[in-house]
Chains A and B, each alone.
Chain A
């Protein structure tokens, strides 16, 4: 991590919902390339997420925390345009990668998802494929040809921390691994198309503590090269794994961003009292 002057600005909270709140939090002057401006999300008529503006610093881990139902996962799915697959979904605002709005008409969403990958909550390797085929499936789907796919596969499995355990059984079915191994396989699979950003939606919530710790190590290593955004319910995990945190909340209406800052600050001296209450376990 580069040492940058931390000039963190965030507006004051504690304001009632019907006043316009400024949720912008500029976390760092090192601009990531991935940011959202005033992002909203709806499911049909239900306003699920309101006005989130956030910038994600490059080569770091940002954790999205908050009680359940605050729109964290919905927000995550806005970042790689997975939200639009839900019937009745709508959005507003912008999501920008390297300055370009990914919702612009000329953007090819499938190509964009090569740069912004996603790992889901439940490990889901393709059941009809071997481990090798699983890792390389992204290339097949995108019709990408590589010179040496064996080398790429080894590199991805190594980065995901799985190579040693599976290198002798690459032709075994993807489903023959344990839960933690399956999730690392899914991480390797996402890495094969060489994304710049990896979105992770509670990737450890279905796993045992041992696997969880190993995946957290993997995440920290990944963040040396790419940007990671991780939704997590587990505050301890957020404090272990993330460099920055963004705290979401809802008052019964749409979820919104309360505060975003360096993790250490969020957990020790946050600006907003609600953040303090949450990280101290007073609710949620």
Chain B
């Protein structure tokens, strides 16, 4: 009868009902806690089990008056929510642990010193992981310098030049993207490290590059395939040669996609440990020369500190993990930002 009215949502639970549900949950949590104190259930997992049991009993009682299908739906919902909690708990626990345990050792010296003069067991205001961070960045840089151009060229070969070997190249790239990381490291160990006689950053970078190359090549190919042929035709119709058309029309179109490919490749390999075990090994001091010998890296630093096992070294491991996670997530977020900027 009217053209004006106020929108409502009668199907949503009222604020009162929602608050009541929250209160009931809180009460249940407290009861579970009390039960845990007085029985054999232990730890947060015991508490969760008791809370689940209480929730199951409570909802069964509350649902007595409902129809069969509603009761089954409610039971399914409870199980799904409980299983989801189990699914999310591990990585949420990792975020929380790395943050809170790692922040303890995050002092300025951590980011500027190396471990040349400190033992892992010294107090946390001595020594640091700066050498490891530098080492990781150095190796990743070398790996990127090698694999990014190669990967992009491979992608261009497959989609633009469409040469005779395209099929073979694709198959090999696809297969090698499944190389286990330790196998990549072992390969470089038995060839490069053997030939040069020592571990080095270059060897580590080669191993990382083996892992990066298939990803970069595949992503480049996919991104280039998305460029509509009309764009290429437009270039040719204007009289441009292929190299001009590719360099000036096609590649700039996919520039952000390629940058994303590079960033994601880096994000993946910067946390790899296994390939470095046999190629770059580890070091306690700053190394800037890629061929001089073993070099430290964040993953090997964390790994080493963990193996030593004293309280202070474990703290260092967590702090190293915090830095590593910040780096990885930073790269990821950057990649997403770059990808999002290019939304047409």
Interface residues of A (CB under 8 A from B): 17-18, 20-24, 37-38, 40, 42, 50-51, 53, 81, 84, 89-93, 103-105, 108-111, 141-143, 253-254, 256
Contact = CB atoms under 8 A, between A and B. Distances in A.
A141 B69 contact: yes
A53 B1 contact: yes
Contacts of B9: 84, 89-91
Interface string B64-78: 000111101000000
Contacts of B1: 20, 22-24, 37-38, 51, 53
B70 A40 contact: no
Interface string B3-16: 11111111100100
Contact of B10 (A40, A50, A91, A142): A91
Given A111-B67, A143-B69, A42 B7 contact: yes
Given A103-B10, A103-B11, A109-B11, A142 B69 contact: yes
Contacts of B67: 108, 111, 143
What size tier do the contact residues of chain B reach?
10 to 19
A104 B9 CA distance: 11
A51 B5 contact: yes
Contact of A21 (B3, B8, B11, B69): B3
A282 to B, nearest CB: 25
Given A84-B9, A91-B9, A141-B69, 5 more contacts: A42-B7, A50-B4, A90-B8, A108-B70, A256-B3
Contacts of A22: 1
A100 to B, nearest CB: 13
Contacts, number: 61
A142 B73 CA distance: 11
A90 B72 contact: no
28 contacts: A18-B3, A20-B1, A21-B3, A38-B1, A38-B5, A40-B5, A50-B2, A50-B4, A50-B5, A51-B3, A84-B11, A90-B9, A91-B7, A91-B8, A91-B10, A92-B5, A92-B6, A92-B7, A93-B5, A103-B11, A104-B10, A105-B10, A108-B67, A110-B69, A110-B70, A111-B67, A143-B67, A253-B3
A81 B67 CA distance: 19
A143 B2 contact: no
Closest 4 CB pairs of A and B: A90-B7, A92-B5, A143-B69, A143-B68
Nearest to B68: A143
Nearest to B72: A143
A17 B2 CA distance: 10
Contacts of B2: 20, 38, 50-51
Contacts of A40: 5, 7
Nearest to A256: B3
A74 B202 CA distance: 65
Q: Name the residue among B4, B10, B68 with the largest chain A CB count within 10 angstroms.
A: B10
A24 B14 CA distance: 31
Contacts of A108: 67, 70
A63 to B, nearest CB: 22
B72 to A, nearest CB: 7
Nearest to A101: B10
Contacts of A37: 1
B14 to A, nearest CB: 8
Chain A CB count within 10 A is highest, among B1, B4, B72, for B1
A143 B67 CA distance: 9
A254 B69 contact: no
B273 to A, nearest CB: 43
Interface in B1-44: 1-11, 14
A139 B68 CA distance: 12
A109 B73 CA distance: 14
Contacts of A253: 3
Contact of A81 (B11, B14, B69): B11
A22 B14 CA distance: 32
A256 B5 CA distance: 13
A90 to B, nearest CB: 3
A266 to B, nearest CB: 21
A115 to B, nearest CB: 14
B224 to A, nearest CB: 35
Nearest to A42: B7
Interface in B60-100: 67-70, 72
Contacts of B72: 143
Contact of B8 (A24, A53, A92, A109): A92
Nearest to A38: B1
A51 B5 CA distance: 8
A89 B8 CA distance: 9
Nearest to A85: B11
A37 B68 CA distance: 33
Contact of B3 (A50, A110, A141): A50
Nearest to A93: B5
Contacts of B14: 105
Nearest to A17: B3
Contacts of A20: 1-3
A264 to B, nearest CB: 27
Contacts of A110: 69-70
Contacts of A23: 1
Nearest to A83: B11
A54 B58 CA distance: 43
Contacts of A81: 11
B68 to A, nearest CB: 4
Contacts of B69: 110, 141-143
A254 B1 CA distance: 13
A109 B1 CA distance: 25
